[in-house]
A and B are shown apart, each in its own frame.
Chain A
Amino acid sequence: MKTKTLKVDYLARVEGEGGLYVKMKGNAVVDVKLKIFEPPRFFEAFLRGRDFGEAPDITARICGICPVAYQMSAVHALENALGVRVDGQLRALRRLLYCGEWIESHTLHVYMLHAPDFLGYPDAIQMAKDHREAVQRGLRLKKAGNEIVSVVGGREIHPVNVRVGGFYKTPSRRELEPLAEKLKWGRDAALETVRWVSRFPFPEFEPDYLFVALRHPEEYPFNEGRLVSGRGLDISVDHYEEYFVEEHVQHSNALHSTLKEQGAYFVGPLARYNLNFDRLSPLAQEAAREAGLGPACRNPFQSIIVRSIEILYACDEALRIIDHYEPPDTPAVEIQPRAATGCACTEAPRGILYHRYRISDQGLILEAKIVPPTSQNQKTIEQDLWNFIPKYLHLPQEKLVWQCEQAIRNYDPCISCATHFLKVEVDRE
């Protein structure tokens, strides 16, 4: 029988360095390896001995695309350890900052990384030759998200204003007002984005995923909630490590995460959407229905629609927060270090991001554990390829490879985060 290999040596339009190797014998897939060769950077190791107050600045450097997510998981984990609760307008400002990152990160992925696959271009720059108006809309929408991060956080990449207990400085109402104007435009642009991507061609592919996301009693989740799955899991984040395990496999510099006794699971926009549709704003729900989506969506290729709905939600939510904003009396809750352990999970653009810290009575970090979304999705990405490829074997090699890449980009994988990944190889025998 003929062996065939599909190889992508260096996956493009993902954050970080990875590749894909697929081996086939006849019409059967015999091996799929999502390879992550992004160099390891050892964050958990060098956090040891650092002051707990440095954690949000240091862990932000794991990822330039979603630094706010790292900062949010870090501060909430440390506040959990120190028995501090950040409420009221400070809590709302953190949510606003996260809205900014979701808008910026999702828009980057929808317009610049994922849409070119659906329309058959190698990148957004080439796509702009025929779809200049759409690309310009994307850039302006992305900028609106970045401006929130800039005003609340100090700068777009690696914001400086987040601290354990709150912020270094809180904005005035007047400083937030110009954002509201841009977000009103952004909300319309996001609605236009949902309509635009819902007309893309989608392959029929609906695996029975095990979705995992946060769920909050009232809100679409950002910083708080219980960990729930589509199959009955409902736990407090404190019990994360009793249910989820990480294993080290030879072909990847990122650890693979699984749910005990259940195996691979799925985190990110599609998981959040399926588990929290009822928590979306009425405008976002209506846009979803108009795009032809119900409260459940299992086609990973349609994650581009769901991501656009989340951009719309984030614009809507950011406007609500700005509208209700009153500057708090103090920028941060006072913190006294003590020997303690604490953990937290927040919803990064790509899914749940877990942090746990153990600190000394002097406030020095003794131990840190970080589980990023992409390492949790790795196994599910590989499973998708096992299931997806056999249906598309009639395609010429070049087309099949591109389809595999697109299937991986459904997850907006962030390889820089996961090593703390994309080359595609397909072997046909």
Chain B
Amino acid sequence: MITAGIDVGIESLKAVILKDGKVLARGTGLSGGANRAKAVEQVWSDALAAAGLSPSDVSRVIATGQGKHDVRFADDRVVEPVADARAARFLYPGVTAVVDIGADQVRLVTLGKGDSIMEVVMNQKCAAGLGIFLKSMARTLGMTLEEISRLPDNSPGDAAVNDGCSVFAEMDALGLLNRNTPREEVARAIIEAIVVRINSILNEKIRPAEAATVLVGGVSRNTAVVNALKRRSGINFVIPEQAEYAGALGAALIAAG
């Protein structure tokens, strides 16, 4: 049986086509803002082409993500934590929690017995947009995300930015640059502020286990952020390959039953 999952996020969308538990193809693209439905069609079509399939070959499509209703051809829709949980269990059977850090949301899903979910914690508004914030700050600093990702994780120096609000953080960062603080130091201060916010969410209800916690989502690809988060939280995250496709994978698995 061939199934598919499509995860439509605020910035990017991902598609996974699955057959008998094996990934046949993946597709990705920008969410396209107001033209999301069109972007969905494009990515879907690219994924099918990569798999050498036509739409009728796919038995069931499930959509997830904030833009799940823009997947007009989906047979059903599931919320993101449900998709994340399914993907995490599939990839790592002993997992107890999964943390998803995307462009605009941070989610912690604590798994219960069997297929159940014990708890879901999502960021409040002040911690929204951490992924988008990181991207925007990279532009301000004149660095690429890859350059930021390669920064070594030292404990934070004297340079600090507001860790409560990204608007204030950006103003603090500009102030630091204005006073000739090296941009790498400013970048580290920004990373520290981001991981303080994320760690706050991890502390909210049930603290994830130090081992057996999976990290997924686009920001999981940024090594500097991940290392800082490991240091700050004490959690040794397990990061799957293609971590940003976890939501789509989970949806495809749910479609398979």
Does chain A bind chain B?
A: no
| Chain A residues packing against B (C-beta within 8 Å) | none
| Chain B residues packing against A (C-beta within 8 Å) | none
